[in-house]
Amino acid sequence: MKKSIHLEYEVIQKENFSAEEQKLYLAASEIRKKAYAKYSHFAVGCALLMEDGNIVVGNNQENAAFPSGTCAERSAIFWAKSNFPNLKVLSIFIIGGPEDDSKSVITSPCGACRQSLLQYEIEQNQNISLYFSSYDGNAIKVNSIQHLLPFSFDGSEL
Ligand code: THU
């Protein structure tokens, strides 16, 4: 029996961002400038909108022992959930690309980040909107982390 999974996503340009999207885009852009991407020179910034209206940000932090570094998404979500464990995350905005902005690339979250983000979406029992974007604001939006991780390992197997 063949089955298929349908994925819906939206393509949005900076000019069409809502006020809230614009705010998240700017927060992710600002924190991206502080990324520690000494080895890849690929800078990523991430901004989370919390349910109380606060924005939590993070960026990638690399390490000479490469696997010891951390992506922007995990820097941001782990900080948010360490400090505000009971606050839901409403949306997440990610911006990535070469740190000198020499190329405009839409940067989608890596597999490990998808898994980490999904954990909190399941835990809070409410979808998180996820935007991923180039530095100059070409963005893709999905309405749930689930959409980026079909057949996920969600803990129900344990
Ligand atoms: N990176 C992120 O911060 N987020 C992603 O989802 C993709 C990759 C970082 C990790 C590493 O510091 C650099 O980008 C190049 O892979």
Distance 138 CA to ligand 1 centre (A): 18
Residues with Cβ within 8 Å of residue 114, at least 6 apart in sequence: 145, 148, 149, 152
How far apart are alpha carbons 111 and 108 in whole angstroms?
Answer: 9
CATH T-level assignment (fold) for domain 13-101+111-148 = Cytidine Deaminase; domain 2 (3.40.140)
Q: Which atom of ligand 1 is nearest to the CA of 44?
A: 3
- The verdict on pTM exceeding 0.75 is yes
Kindly state the average pLDDT of the residues 14-20: 98
User: In the predicted model, what is the mean pLDDT of the chain?
Assistant: 97
73 given a catalytic annotation: yes
Reported as a single tens digit per residue, the pLDDT across 72-120 is 999 999 999 999 999 999 999 999 999 999 999 999 999 999 999 999 9
Distance 137 CA to ligand 1 centre (A): 18
Marked catalytic residue, from 8, 10, 62, 73: 73
